[in-house]
Structure 1
Amino acid sequence: MPITFGVDRLVNKGDAGLPSLMGVMKGGIAMIEPQEAYLKMSNDGSSFTSPHNGAWFFTETESQKEDLFLLGRGSRADYYVSGAASSAQSWPWDADNEVKDAYGIRFIASVSEEDVGTYEKKTYEIREE
């Protein structure tokens, strides 16, 4: 039974000092404004320099599910996370030099079940990371 792992492209913003995730990066790194950032997850090895592949994350926008990984017949390999921000962006580091709970990303696992000769996706687990 194939299992598909997906991700909700809507990201819950954490600390107020963190930049907003803007979705697909259409321009170059030099065009990123302070308080803007780009974050992408892909399973084809492409980074943020490839705007057409992977799941780009948004802050405070409409939730969009994106299937990324398939386990079972015809499965795909691992995943890769990349991103970019302005060099003028300041980061709200805590005492441990970390940004805890910066962005919350929702992962979704779906199980395909055979039903009368067709496959129907059912949500198996929803996990917040």
Structure 2
Amino acid sequence: MTEKATDRIERSRRTLGEMSDLVGDQGHTTNTRRWDRLVAEWLGDRQVLERSEEGRAAIVALMADERPVVRLWSAAAALFWDADAARPVLAEIRDQPIRYDLHSITAKHTLLEFDAGTLDRDARLPGT
């Protein structure tokens, strides 16, 4: 793995961590401008990471994170190359609306749009 790839992986982890800190376990924020900046940063990093095997592996590894934001966004990305691994992660968030609130709705619509073939891999997740 190159140093540049390692830096990109670390930055994407840090970005998802900041997203998690901002919205918590239920997905509420009062700082939409910061949220939008973080989402754009994650999407840019994700587009680069998914082009390599090591980048995809790093994203898949994030699906085991304890923070729902990290699991949600990494699993949504991984749907496009490893749906069998990503689906249960999204379903777990979707199926616990009391615990995950807005994240649950996002997971639900992410799966619905993916199944319908309308999920845009380069755009924000539905409802965010």
Q: TM-score, normalised on structure 2?
A: 0.26
Q: Would you tell me which structure has more strand in proportion to its own residues? A: 1
> Which structure has more RCO (C-alpha within 8 Å, separation ≥ 6)?
1
Q: TM-score, normalised on structure 1?
A: 0.26
State the structure with more CA Rg. 1
Q: Would you tell me which structure has more helix in proportion to its own residues? A: 2
